[in-house]
């Protein structure tokens, strides 16, 4: 019948769990927000949900880490502090003075840069296999496969790993600086601080450089092998003056400009300048040299950290998945003291 209004259309019920009807999309509606801001908002919501869901697990893990740190500090205080204190007292008392101590101090300007470069290379090679970042299997299976911000998901674990590596190597470097002071170089406060700077910078740089190294090792294995061979050759060249001095050729303790070449040849030498330059140090000089070395080292740390952070989201998912599948098997084999199984589980897969 003409003139009769059409009955109103019933609203389409919404999906289960929704609070109202579902309106079908209209061609006049604005397009859905699928840009970078939308991805960031979704990622922030997912991370907030995971923080609430994993709160109890995170507290249990934090208690376990604190207990492990407490046991480590306690054992170190019981077994490490007494002999270290005895060495320091012997050094300050003049009982370590002699030709051997003089040779060791003379070799420090060439030995320390080589040790720094070797530590960085070792951390990079370890990072290529084990990370960071090392997300768990749930993160790889459920989060990285969705349109979320990979950098926001991987960055927290990477930052924690860099901080832990820096703190551990800084502690080792501080102990080394204390031993250098016991041998008669530096001051009781300046030497440990300089050693902490050298050790911490090695840990930070090595952990950061592992990020681009992982990408290169996965996408260009041949290029990665060439870079590793070149890095090993460079570390060997840095150690040549020390080896020459140890073999008795006299190059390790040579005077003049040759002693300054390793210290100013790159970041490996800048990080050791606070230990080898300044008052009462092997190379001598004023306070300007160690301060310059510290500033250059901090600038290097910032540059390398920024470079690594920008590439954290470009690590291949295949490598992260293999790492997440291998880590539990290696951990279980270590807990059972089955070293053969741990070595077989840690062996990289054949491609």
Long-range contacts (CB closer than 8 Å, 24 or more residues apart) made by 279-287: 279/187, 280/184, 280/185, 280/186, 280/187, 281/185, 281/186, 282/105, 282/106, 282/108, 282/109, 282/185, 283/109, 283/259
pTM of the predicted model as reported, rounded to 2 decimal places: 0.80
61 part of a folded domain: no
Residue with tokens 């040849």: 265
Give the residue from 217, 5, 179 showing the smallest Cα distance to 83. 179
Produce one character per residue of 112-122: b if its CB has 16 or more CB atoms within 10 Å, e if not: bbbbbbbbbbe
193 part of a folded domain: yes
Q: Which residues contact 66 (CB under 8 A, 6 or more apart)?
A: none
88 part of a folded domain: yes
170 part of a folded domain: yes
282 part of a folded domain: yes
Do 351 and 211 lie in a common domain? no
Q: Which domain holds residue 327?
A: 317-351
Do 322 and 196 lie in a common domain? no
Do 180 and 137 lie in a common domain? yes
Do 175 and 221 lie in a common domain? yes
Predicted local distance difference test score (pLDDT) of residue 202: 96
- What average pLDDT values come out for the chain (351 residues) when binned by 10 residues? 50 44 43 67 83 86 90 89 86 79 84 92 90 81 80 89 94 92 87 95 95 88 88 83 58 58 88 89 83 95 95 87 79 72 64 51
Q: Report the alpha-carbon distance of residue 166 to residue 179 in Å, rounded.
A: 20
Q: Domain tally for the chain?
A: 2
Residue with tokens 């492990």: 68
Predicted local distance difference test score (pLDDT) of residue 197: 96
Predicted local distance difference test score (pLDDT) of residue 236: 83
Do 310 and 327 lie in a common domain? no
Predicted local distance difference test score (pLDDT) of residue 243: 67
8 Å CB contact between 143 and 46: yes
Predicted local distance difference test score (pLDDT) of residue 3: 53
166 part of a folded domain: yes
Give the residue from 308, 282, 298, 90 showing the smallest Cα distance to 212. 308
- Provide the 3-class DSSP secondary structure of residue 325: helix
Do 270 and 330 lie in a common domain? no
Q: Report the alpha-carbon distance of residue 218 to residue 224 in Å, rounded.
A: 9
Do 275 and 174 lie in a common domain? yes
């Amino acid at each position: 019948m003409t003139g009769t209004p059409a009955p109103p259309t019933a609203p389409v019920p919404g999906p289960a769990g929704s609070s109202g009807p579902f309106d079908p999309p209209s061609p006049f509606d604005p397009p859905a927000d699928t840009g970078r801001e939308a991805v960031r908002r979704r990622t922030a919501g997912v991370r907030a949900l995971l923080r609430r869901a994993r709160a109890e697990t995170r507290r249990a893990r934090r208690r376990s880490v604190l207990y492990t740190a407490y046991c480590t500090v306690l054992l170190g205080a019981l077994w490490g502090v007494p002999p270290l204190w005895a060495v320091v007292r012997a050094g300050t008392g003049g009982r370590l003075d002699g030709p051997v101590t003089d040779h060791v101090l003379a070799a420090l300007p060439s030995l320390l840069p080589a040790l720094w470069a070797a530590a960085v290379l070792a951390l990079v090679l370890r990072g290529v296999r084990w990370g960071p970042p090392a997300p768990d299997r749930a993160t790889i299976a459920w989060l990285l496969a969705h349109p979320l911000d990979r950098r926001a998901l991987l960055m927290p674990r990477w930052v924690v790993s860099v901080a832990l590596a820096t703190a551990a190597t800084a502690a080792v470097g501080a102990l080394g600086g204390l031993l250098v002071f016991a041998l008669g170089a530096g001051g009781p406060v300046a030497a440990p601080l300089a050693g902490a700077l050298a050790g911490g910078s090695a840990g930070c740089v090595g952990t950061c450089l592992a990020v681009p190294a992982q990408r290169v090792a996965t996408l260009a294995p041949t290029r990665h092998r060439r870079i590793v061979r070149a890095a090993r050759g460079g570390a060997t060249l840095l150690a040549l003056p020390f080896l020459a001095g140890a073999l008795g050729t006299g190059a390790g303790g040579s005077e003049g400009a040759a002693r300054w070449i390793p210290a100013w040849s790159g970041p490996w030498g800048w990080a050791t300048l606070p230990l080898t330059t300044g008052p009462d140090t092997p190379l001598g000089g004023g306070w300007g040299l160690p301060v310059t070395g510290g500033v250059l080292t901090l600038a290097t740390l910032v540059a390398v950290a920024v470079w690594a952070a920008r590439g954290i989201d470009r690590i291949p998912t295949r490598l992260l998945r293999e790492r997440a599948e291998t880590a539990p098997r290696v951990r279980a084999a270590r807990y059972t003291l089955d070293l053969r199984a741990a070595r077989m589980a840690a062996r990289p897969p054949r491609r």
